[in-house]
Chains A and B, each alone.
Chain A
Amino acid sequence: MDPILLLTQALNGLQLGVMLFLMAAGLTLVFGIMGLINLAHGSLYMAGAYAMAAVFAWSGSFLAGLAAAVAAAALLGVAIEMAALRLLYRRDHLDQVLATFGLILFFNELARIIWGPAAIFVTVPAALSHTVEILPGAPYPAYRLVVIAAGVAVAAGLYLLIARTRLGMLIRAGASNRTMVSALGVDIGRLYTAVFALGAGLAALAGAMAGPILSVEPGMGEPVLILTLVVIVVGGIGSIRGAFAAALLIGFVDTIGRAFLPALLRDLLAPSAANAVGPALASMLIYLTMAVVLAIRPQGLFAARTG
């Protein structure tokens, strides 16, 4: 197989993986620590993309856009947590799903009212709009390389935060036994709000970085939310390490599947059958991966809560 193509596809897989990790990190913490299923996580991703687009267009600075997106979404996250989600912690998962699904509808409609139904224009910053020859004959968009670097850097920073700081210690403790943490005198309400703001900021960072690549429109958060749910289930709920491993796994499986599976099937099957089966199978591959992982390790790759 063509090594240049393989390298390009590996980078594509890595890029999808780190984006998914940014989304999954927040979602898995909220799920693991608060026991809350937050479907509106995709809305925070969308909020990040829109905030970035607005500030980028107004100031002309991409970095200002990123910073504004993260700050705005973290504040929005705090507001959502205080106004709505607090009421849901003691309710069962079905109520949480219903309520946060309602939030999705609310935020999509809000985006439609503010920015209109059509996709809005966001471009790659001029300094990153070229392609880089990673190997001779293998140009790769500079912007996507930066996304990979930023994603890896944030993952490293998150690891340090969780492993080395007091907040991180509380988060780990909360994920493994939240009743005990509150019994030890930790203000669990404030911890919840902080975790939620952190998750919202990460989701917004993912959305803001995706803005120049994807179309910024109402409802853009839902496709990525579905992938993110797959990631946290595969990774083990509440585990940052699991989210990182699973995000990369899902990123690679999805990319490699889409890139090579249809061609592989064309060698094995008749062209018409391959054309019918190939795309369907390629888009199912991540769910098959999830099924296999769950069959072998029902708690996910790295379970946070033991016993």
Chain B
Amino acid sequence: MRKVLMAAVAGAMAAGAPAMAQETLKVGFVATFSGPNAALGEHLLQGFQVGVDHAGGKLGGLPTEILKEDDQLKPDVGVQVVRKLIDRDRVNVVAGVVFSNVMMAIHKPLTESKTPMISANAGPSPIAGKLCSPYFFAASWQNDQSHEAVGQHLQTKGVKRVYLMAPNYQAGRDGLAGFKRYFKGEVLGEVYTAVNQPDYSAELAQVRAAKPEAVYVFYPGGMGVNFVKQYAQAGLNKDFPLYSAFTVDASTLPAQGEAAVGTFTAAFWTADLDNAASKRFVADYRKKYGSTPSTFAAQAYDAARLLDAAIRGAGGKVSDREALAAAIKTAKFESVRGPFRFNTNNFPIHNFYLVETVKAADGSLEQVNRGVVFKDHADSYVGDCAMK
């Protein structure tokens, strides 16, 4: 018995020996973990964690250390934690980030220090265009792509008259512009409401009076909870089908409840997508966290899988940042969304699907896939990117 134990220890030591010479992977994971949107950061981290589990706890075969940092949805705090990760913790790569305003702020310190960044959510247009960098990668999408997909769907469907609403800030204006890039029918009203406005009764009365064929809105977070509930309470969902982006998702659906049933959105992935990578991810995520993964979790899972493949491609040399970035660009991995490849600006070219929120037989709310809207969809800003 004792001999066996000795042998086991010796064996373990022998197996461990080459690891001493091996590098350790340090991943800075930055996301919003506090405030009303903290759930989104948790979704990202959980998805990423399942990706690390699928690599046997070792991304690219390297001992992996994840340093979790909260950006508090404040760009200045984001910059502080990223500088700390780069200068003090000397991370090899940064991943995560829920919000575009944080991403815009941390983009400069990351690219200047040549630290590879893998976005698990935010994909702001300047970074896809003029500010594109060989060190920035989106495992998610470019922000406009969901808006464009809904616009395209209504265009294909033959809808002629729509009514548009969004909060009065940059992302709201960008979102509706993205929608109109592919929807060519008549826009009966394009209404911008105050950011964090709680009540939409005045605007909803105008919607009814305008009698559109469909309504398209962008109301992320708590605004989406208010809007979708009030839309249903006013009885508008019976007469005017509601389409949205980033409004009905895993973070808001529990509070929207049945008010969200029958609304449509667009996404690059749904939990019922039929491919091996997605099925494995959904099954193991359910086992670990007891719920169906959100799109946020799926994006972060892909970020981890991408990083795993890239490190293997770079031969485990994560301290060479240039080589690591080059390896991320050419990494081959099985994305949960199916076909995935980077465009010249390091944003994905991928499919978009129409998604409907339905009530399942057991009474729970689910977001189900209603078919492809875009096949191999590239973003609209790649032309502004100098990288070839």
Interface residues of A (CB under 8 A from B): 2, 4-5, 8-9, 12-13, 15-16, 116-121, 123-124, 129-131, 139-141, 143-144, 210, 212-220, 223-224, 254-256, 258-259, 262-263, 275, 278-280, 282-283
Contact = CB atoms under 8 A, between A and B. Distances in A.
Contacts of B234: 131, 139-141
Interface of B: 34-39, 168, 189-194, 196-199, 201-203, 205-206, 208-209, 222-223, 225-226, 229-230, 233-235, 251-252, 254-258
Contact of A141 (B192, B235, B252): B235
Nearest to B233: A141
19 contacts: A12-B202, A12-B205, A13-B202, A117-B36, A119-B222, A119-B252, A120-B255, A121-B255, A130-B235, A131-B233, A141-B234, A141-B235, A212-B229, A214-B225, A215-B225, A215-B229, A263-B206, A279-B194, A283-B197
Tell which of B35, B196, B230, B255 has the most Cβ of chain A within 10 Å.
B255
Given A2-B209, A121-B257, A214 B235 contact: no
Contacts of A218: 36
B271 to A, nearest CB: 19
B113 to A, nearest CB: 31
A213 B229 contact: yes
A218 B38 CA distance: 12
Contacts of B192: 275, 278-279
B230 A213 contact: yes
Contact of A118 (B36, B230, B233, B257): B36
Contact of B36 (A123, A217, A280): A217
Contacts of B230: 213
A295 to B, nearest CB: 24
Contacts, number: 119
A178 B151 CA distance: 63
A214 to B, nearest CB: 5
A262 B194 CA distance: 13
B252 A259 contact: no
Given A131-B235, A279-B192, 9 more contacts: A4-B209, A117-B35, A119-B36, A121-B257, A143-B233, A214-B225, A216-B255, A263-B206, A275-B190
B254 A118 contact: yes
Contacts of B258: 123
Nearest to B194: A283
Contact of B202 (A4, A130, A224, A255): A255
Contacts of B168: 279-280, 283
A140 to B, nearest CB: 8
Contacts of A13: 202
Given A9-B202, A12-B202, A121 B254 contact: yes
Contact of B222 (A130, A217, A224): A217
Contacts of B255: 118-121, 215-217
A197 B38 CA distance: 33
A43 B237 CA distance: 32
Nearest to B192: A279
A220 to B, nearest CB: 7
A255 B201 contact: yes
A238 to B, nearest CB: 27
A118 B226 contact: no
Nearest to A10: B205
Closest 10 CB pairs of A and B: A215-B225, A119-B255, A131-B235, A279-B192, A12-B201, A117-B38, A283-B194, A259-B202, A279-B168, A8-B205
A219 B222 CA distance: 11
Contact of A258 (B34, B36, B203): B203
A119 to B, nearest CB: 4
A219 B198 CA distance: 12
A217 B222 CA distance: 8
A123 B257 contact: yes
A39 B185 CA distance: 48
Nearest to B39: A118
Contacts of A262: 191
Nearest to B173: A275
A12 B209 CA distance: 14
A153 to B, nearest CB: 20
B222 A258 contact: no
Contacts of B196: 223
Contacts of B197: 223, 283
B202 A139 contact: no
Contacts of A223: 196-198
